[in-house]
Amino acid sequence: MSVCPVLRMGDPRLLRISRPVARFDTPELHALIRDMEDTMAHLNGAGLAAPQIGVDLRVVIFGVAANPRYPDVEEVPYTVLINPVIEPLDEDEEDGWEGCLSVPGMRGVVPRFTRLRYSGLDPFGNRIEREVSGFHARVVQHECDHLDGILYPMRIRDFRLFGFTEELFPDGSVAGDD
């Protein structure tokens, strides 16, 4: 296990534009992804971007298993996505609550494109291309924003819908940090 410290908002390394990965199926790339997986699993995150552990490469991982405690949460297949490209399929946006391991203990409502196509490469250099919507699309947009130095609070339009998780959801219906 290599659980890495997750940088928190305010650390300038979260604001960098990350570099594309140039070489695939290397020991260094596989080691980075293992570190990201261990860190995300340890913190029960829905996703993690390499900049959050201080690595300025365009690598994100995400995935949400079905959880009987949160029946409203849609399942998202576990995915490693490198050098991602996002293309919205139309102009539709929807609001939804987000959290981030780099902004622990808080939640905010963020507008995101409802439907999009994303593409990129897996760790072996194989192409990935999917059309997704809803929560899956939201998670991808959140993680890919990290590669351009954007944290979700920067996208909030109504700051009345931003605050500490425990205050916003006193019944405990939303838990965890991401």
Name the site residues for Ni ion (rule: CB under 5 A): 100
Cβ 122 vs Cβ 82: under 8 Å = yes
The CB-of-99 to Ni ion minimum distance in angstroms stands at 8
Asked whether 61 and 47 are in contact (CB, 8 A), the reply is yes
- In one-letter notation, the amino acid at residue 107 is R
Contacts of residue 150, defined as CB under 8 A and 6 or more positions apart, other chains included, come to none
Q: Which is nearer to Ni ion, 55 or 89 (CB)?
A: 55
Which residue's CB is nearer to Ni ion, number 89 or number 155?
A: 155
Kindly report the length of the chain: 178
**Shortest distance, CB of residue 68 to Ni ion, whole angstroms?**
25
Token pair recorded at residue 168 = 């916003």
Distances (CA, A) of 153 to 51, 93, 120, 161, 163: 17, 17, 25, 10, 10
Residue 55: CB minimum distance to Ni ion, A: 14
Question: Is 50 or 100 the residue whose CB approaches Ni ion more closely?
Answer: 100
Query: Smaller CB distance to Ni ion: residue 91 or 139?
Result: 139
Among all residues, whose Cβ is closest to Ni ion? 100
Catalytic residue among 87, 91, 131, 143: 143
Whether 28 is catalytic: no
Q: In angstroms, give the least distance from the CB of 17 to Ni ion.
A: 16
Active site residues: 143
